[in-house]
């Protein structure tokens, strides 16, 4: 029982730590408005689907727990991709990379939610198309 409580406290403290850290190092903030969803926010604010989820671990995987007035961080300083492409019907990683003038490997390195054969991108998803590899700290996610 004590071990369980200890583990829960450690987990809670870790959660608070990661949020506080994200807010401290935040490059861009955004306040959720009525009707917003993750893809709409990402497309309007030039933040990739992957980055928005990475920086805001409190958002659930279906993005159905946003609330009006919630403050999101859109990118961590030094790990903030602001060059993006919104996936359209018919897009492939090759076509997106070609249009952005980058390699598919750079595209994949900046969108770690996309599988290596690029079969899991969806219309409306926002991809980072930066021409450099963003040094995402994925261990803190």
Ligand X SMILES: *[C@@H]1O[C@H](CO)[C@@H](O)[C@H](O)[C@H]1NC(C)=O
Our CB check for ligand X shows the closer of 65 and 131 to be 131
- SS3 category, 28: strand
DSSP readout, 44-98? HHT--HHHHHHH-TTS-TT-----TT-EEEEEETTB----EEE--TT--HHHHHH
Q: If binding is defined by CB under 6 A, does position 79 make contact with ligand X?
A: no
Find the binding residues for ligand X in span 11-70 (CB under 6 A).
Answer: 45-46
Asked if 80 and 29 count as a contact pair (C-beta separation under 8 A), the reply is: no
Q: If binding is defined by CB under 6 A, does position 110 make contact with ligand X?
A: no
Q: In the chain, what is the straight-line distance between the N-terminal and C-terminal CA atoms, in Å? A: 28
How many residues lie near ligand X (CB under 6 A)? 4
Our CB check for ligand X shows the closer of 23 and 131 to be 131
Q: If binding is defined by CB under 6 A, does position 133 make contact with ligand X?
A: no
Q: Which of 18, 79, 83, 113 binds ligand X (CB under 6 A)?
A: 83
Asked if 110 and 48 count as a contact pair (C-beta separation under 8 A), the reply is: yes
Our CB check for ligand X shows the closer of 86 and 121 to be 86
Task: In angstroms, give the least distance from the CB of 66 to ligand X.
Answer: 18
Report the interface residues with ligand X, using CB under 6 A. Answer: 45-46, 83, 131
């Amino acid at each position: 029982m004590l071990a369980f409580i200890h583990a829960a406290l450690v987990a809670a403290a870790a959660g608070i730590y990661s949020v506080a850290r994200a807010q401290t190092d935040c490059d861009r903030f955004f306040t959720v408005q009525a009707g917003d969803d993750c893809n709409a926010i990402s497309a309007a604010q030039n933040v990739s689907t992957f980055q928005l989820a990475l920086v805001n671990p409190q958002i659930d995987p279906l993005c159905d727990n946003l609330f009006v007035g919630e403050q999101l961080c859109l990118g961590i300083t030094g790990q903030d991709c602001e060059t993006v492409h919104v996936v359209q019907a018919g897009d492939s990683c090759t076509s997106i990379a070609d249009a952005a003038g980058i390699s598919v490997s750079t595209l994949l390195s900046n969108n770690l939610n996309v599988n290596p054969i690029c079969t899991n991108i969806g219309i409306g998803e926002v991809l980072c198309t930066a021409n450099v590899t963003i040094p995402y700290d994925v261990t803190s996610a």
